[in-house]
Structure 1
Amino acid sequence: MNSAAAVAAPLDDPFYYLTNFEFVLAWVTERHGDLLGEAEWGFHVAFAALPRASRALLVRMVMRKGEHFRPSRLAYPEIDAEAGDTEAALAPLVAAGLVEAAPALELATLFAQLRLPELRQALAEEIRAAGLPPAAGKSVLREALLARDASPRPLAAWWPDAPEEVVRLTVMATCDRLRLMFFGNLRQDWSEFVLAELGHQRFEAVPFGVDARAFCHREEVDAYLALHALRGRLEEGEAPVELAAAVPARPANPWLASRHARLCLALGRQAERQGEGGLALSLYGRAGWPAPAASGEGRIRLLRLAERRGETRKALALAEPLARLSHDEAEAQALERLLPRLRRRLGLSPRAISTEPVPERFTLRLPGPAWVEGAVRDHLHHEAAPVHYVENTLITGLFGLLCWEALFAALPGAFFHPFQSGPADLYREDFLARRREYFDDCLARLEDGRYRQTIRDNWRMKVGIANPFVHWGALSEELLEQALECIPPEHLRACFERLLGDLRTNRAGLPDLVQFLPEAPAGEPRYRLIEVKGPGDRLQDNQRRWLAFFRRHGIPAAVCQLNWEETA
């Protein structure tokens, strides 16, 4: 099955979530069996031996947040109807070791599980010892008591009169690993099945065989989980100096290597914010080299930080060969600014740099303040020259519709489950090279006029289906038709080729507005793109690059500087 709607269980089945979970389990064991270890196979066997009510209860727990639960909060009518009550469904899970009956609880877990009146009973001695008033609120209790050194213990030891014991799911890590092997990421979760069944999310049906999968080696799954765990610890506030020591060597897999670089970059940014410049330099180095395959942002951050720390000669020694090697527009733009500064600091003559074309500009003064793009749109709009707000949606949307076939080509390593909004290798270096023939065929339609019908057909046939470049809510049929009538195909081709040069970076920075001019005299542009800047705002680097590109290719684009009228 290649369609998400086809694999999602109908929601009128009270055990739909169990059916979906069992589908994932079967899918993973069939396609990733050689990557499963003792824990995963043991779970598979133990889960299959459970009664249905117990399997359903375990899945309900897996799909909820955290690992600790109070049985009284695990009441589900379909489970109670089959097992009699929650305790009856829970007992086989405890017997199989999938749930721990009376785990030792840390104070933080206690605060998460108990209500305020219960906390006052369970922690009465600790509250008195801390000198807190009996009526203290939960936040006051948390702040005071979590700072105290208290050993974990079962709930009955904290609170002998507790009406029930807290239980702990012991297989969450195993289930997360299985979810990762199915989706190829931990961003997607079990709700994907429900959203697909409800029709809230629709995905292109791409054929793939039993050998199509996200991971080829168990070590790759381990590496992903390790990097994900470190990122989570960083987001929870753990010090980067501690996390940096735990970062593993860069994986050989290019996809995982990019995740490794992004983690090092995030750690470096946090270290720099905390004033740990030496650590930040080291982490930016790990993120950015070897060049140009790693993170360009990491390289530029390293050079800028080295400059601020007075390590000018080191920065120049790294920057000059990088300027000769880099094919990244954003990096080249940053180096053009950085290199002259570094050379001046060292008393060297600045080398000639390319000059950026100056974009056309005009100024408006309107009543306000208000939404700047909306104010300019409404002021310029009239029936003969309609204006639309399209920031990053029009050019990319036309590209996604024209090149649908290329984006969803069923190539090895691109699609491996039914819930993908785009190819897994979308931002990898070889994405275009692997599909050059497909993209050439799509772009050739701009030469012979077939592109209009292709875009119209895909807009009608694919409406609502996820595409990484098509934002359906922003691409009305009226906007589509006006764009196809007024934007020349040679302009579209130039923009599409630039998108393909760096899909991740170049999909952003496009102008805010488009104005169509269908009644323009022959030989004059029948549209113009407008980047709006409000008071005190200035062009971002990615916007400057697009505007320079438009200028070089004769594409009509302007910057509107908006000022508000002064009021009495």
Structure 2
Amino acid sequence: MSAPVELPSDYYLANFLALLDFVMSRYEDLLSADERGFYADFRALDVDSQRLYVRLLSRKGRPSAAGALFRQRKLAYAEIGDLSAAAERLVQVGLLLRNPDLVIAEILPLFSKAELLPLSEIPLPQSVKRPALEQVLLAQDIPPATLLAAEPILAVQAAVHFDTFKLCLFGNLNQDLTDWVLRDLGLYRYEHYPLDRENLPFQSRAQIEQHLGYYAALVHFEEDIEAGADAIAALAAQLPVNTQQDATLQRRLDRLRVAMARQLERLDALDAADQIYRACAHPPARERRARIAVKRGDSQAGLALCREILAEPLDEAEAIFAESFGYRTAKREKNLHGWEAPARYRPPTETVALPAAQECVELLAAAWLQQLGDCHYVENTLFNGVFGLFIWDIVFAPVAGAFFHPFQIAPGDFRTPDFYRARRDMFEQRLGELADERFAERVWRNFDAKYGIANPLVAWEALSEPLLRLALTRIPTAHWLVLFRRLLSDITSHRSGLPDLILFPETGGYELVEVKGPGDRLQQNQQRWLAYFARHRIPHRVLHVEWQQNDGNQT
């Protein structure tokens, strides 16, 4: 067993500098003068000042209009030699602000109850609750200088500039430097892919500004979600316009619009919600519009939207909704012309009684099936894993805008329809290899060469050599082809719902087995996979497990 990795005490600074340098080396021409100045000022600092700034920037300080607030005397970091000198240097270059202009309500939360009690002009018991204490002090209108005179308060500056650097590196403002830590600890190994300037996602300052505008609107919405219908509709109208035809931005804007419109639905502002859904290019916008139309009593408009979806569905879930909702609506209106009840597939099913045990029901079923051959618990790992090995180089191909930084497990568009569309020719050429021996050769080659490297489709710990050998030998290439095509059609939805077990009978071939314990039922994504297996003659069944009664009878 390898010894645990011990990171240096200021590992965070090295990662922070790496982030800044990466962005400057690739995006300098897209950064503003203030952002470039932030970089130059930080780079010119002594190491203790750099450490202190990164520490404070990474911490959740008390928010205020002046920036995140900290009490200087409460700061202590073993790796910073002279914290007071470091703070003074940061104040001099404008990265910290000492004793900013604050109202008393912004200062009180920085102090403990014990520190605030003596400030009350009226005697209060030690048991007084903090909110009540703060209300008393606010009523006294205590001058901010009363608390600021006791010790310096520091406000972090330029965080907005760092947001731009983070956006350029990660492509979002949700991630942090944890990816570097995971790499340094050896927890993740990442594939190497080119990060040339022309392939990076941001090609103009307008793109950066639009993404920053999206995140500002997201924060505003989350803070004011209960502000009322008019405020939400006004915020939706102010969302940035995707002038650069940025697919990632469009998906983000659509997700936010859907969240806003759903809240408007809850507030019964259906007209406003419908207008926002109309601006969305992705599901479930049309579904929600159909539901709103029917709710408002306009069943014909709802049915028309369902027909529109069925004529050109954007994903499988949308099509399933339109088929089901359209039929139910037409039936309720007693006008089923052109609408048929959705067919429901009933898979072959067997029930077996097994002794109750602590072990999970899937493993119990696998052990029972061993009497018929070699059975493995695979759930979603086998077919996804083989697919990931087969298309490894395509997953990490240098598609414009797919990769932001060196520590991505997957391209940025992996969970979207664009993943297939942007690589259509590569995928179709690769699927053609299933007709000959190159399929298994490529899978084994990548299994050996890439073992342990992060891939969004490959769970290495679940993909053993014996299992892989059996699967590649027993499963016909025609079956691999139809399985891979369904995965590609909606990789986000179809990566789950696959059967729990694969059985390789002693007589040859294979069978997929979905296990259901007492009281458990098939989920919709599982039903869809089973129906797909039936259409393509892929052997499958559902095994219902019941607990054996005391008399030992087995069905």
Mark yes or no: TM-score above 0.5: yes
Number of the residue aligned with 2:522: 539
Change (3 A) 1:214 1:350: same
Change (3 A) 1:238 1:39: farther
* Residue 254 in structure 1 maps to residue 241 in structure 2: no
Number of the residue aligned with 2:65: none
Kindly report which structure 2 residues correspond to 1:134-283, keeping only aligned pairs within 5 A, or say none.
134-136=126-128, 140-142=129-131, 145=134, 156-157=145-146, 159=147, 162=150, 164-236=151-223, 238-239=225-226, 241=229, 242-247=231-236, 248-251=239-242, 252-273=245-266, 276-283=269-276
* Residue 431 in structure 1 maps to residue 424 in structure 2: no
Alignment check: 8 A CA contact 1:377 1:388 kept: no
Instruction: Calculate percent identity across the aligned residue pairs.
Output: 37
Number of the residue aligned with 1:527: 510
Residue identity in the other structure for 1:255:
T
Q: CA deviation at 1:371?
A: 7.1
> Deviations 1:501-537 (Å, cap 9, x if unpaired)?
12222222222x123224125xxxx322223344554
Q: CA deviation at 1:205?
A: 0.6
Question: Which of 16, 28, 32 matches 1:33?
Answer: 28
Number of the residue aligned with 1:7: none
Alignment check: 8 A CA contact 1:250 1:260 kept: no
Helix, strand or coil for the counterpart of 1:558?
Answer: strand
> Deviations 1:523-568 (Å, cap 9, x if unpaired)?
xxx3222233445543333222211111100112223344455789
Kindly report which structure 2 residues correspond to 1:308-457, keeping only aligned pairs within 5 A, or say none.
308-353=295-340, 355-368=343-356, 373-374=361-362, 376-378=364-366, 380-382=368-370, 385-457=373-445
* Residue 295 in structure 1 maps to residue 285 in structure 2: no
Alignment check: 8 A CA contact 1:377 1:389 kept: no
> Deviations 1:42-82 (Å, cap 9, x if unpaired)?
212322332222122212222223422232443333321xx
Question: Which of 39, 62, 65 matches 2:60?
Answer: 65
Helix, strand or coil for the counterpart of 2:506?
Answer: coil
Q: CA deviation at 1:86?
A: 0.6
Residue identity in the other structure for 1:48:
R
Count of residue pairs the alignment pairs up: 534
Alignment check: 8 A CA contact 1:357 1:552 kept: no
What is the CA RMSD across the aligned residues, in angstroms?
A: 3.3
Alignment check: 8 A CA contact 1:366 1:565 kept: yes
> Deviations 1:272-325 (Å, cap 9, x if unpaired)?
4455545444443433xxxxxx22222213322432343323212322223212
Distance 2:273 2:305 in 1: 16
Helix, strand or coil for the counterpart of 2:202?
Answer: coil
Number of the residue aligned with 2:455: 467
Residue identity in the other structure for 2:202:
F
* Residue 114 in structure 1 maps to residue 111 in structure 2: yes
Distance 2:224 2:360 in 1: 36
Distance 2:273 2:352 in 1: 44
Distance 2:472 2:411 in 1: 27
TM-score by length of 2: 0.85
Number of the residue aligned with 2:41: 46
Q: CA deviation at 1:401?
A: 0.9
Change (3 A) 1:539 1:177: same
Q: CA deviation at 1:442?
A: 3.3
Number of the residue aligned with 1:515: 502
Change (3 A) 1:105 1:388: farther
Helix, strand or coil for the counterpart of 1:79?
Answer: coil
Change (3 A) 1:460 1:359: same
Distance 1:331 1:425 in 2: 20
Change (3 A) 1:388 1:48: same
Q: Which is worse superposed, 148-157 or 500-509?
A: 148-157
Alignment check: 8 A CA contact 1:62 1:172 kept: yes
Distance 1:121 1:261 in 2: 52
Alignment check: 8 A CA contact 1:377 1:387 kept: no
> Deviations 1:257-276 (Å, cap 9, x if unpaired)?
11111112223334444555
Distance 1:102 1:450 in 2: 68
Distance 2:192 2:184 in 1: 15
Number of the residue aligned with 1:99: 96
Number of the residue aligned with 2:64: none
Change (3 A) 1:383 1:363: closer
Residue identity in the other structure for 2:93:
A
Residue identity in the other structure for 1:483:
A
Change (3 A) 1:46 1:160: closer
Distance 1:478 1:28 in 2: 44
Kindly report which structure 2 residues correspond to 1:80-91, keeping only aligned pairs within 5 A, or say none.
80=81, 85-91=82-88
Change (3 A) 1:395 1:175: same
Residue identity in the other structure for 1:443:
L
Helix, strand or coil for the counterpart of 2:370?
Answer: coil
Residue identity in the other structure for 2:169:
F
* Residue 491 in structure 1 maps to residue 479 in structure 2: yes
Distance 1:372 1:305 in 2: 43
Residue identity in the other structure for 1:552:
R
> Deviations 1:432-462 (Å, cap 9, x if unpaired)?
3442343244333432123223222322322
Distance 2:395 2:41 in 1: 41
Q: Which is worse superposed, 552-561 or 527-536?
A: 527-536
> Deviations 1:200-253 (Å, cap 9, x if unpaired)?
121101123233322122232222223223334544563263344213155242
Alignment check: 8 A CA contact 2:409 2:455 kept: yes
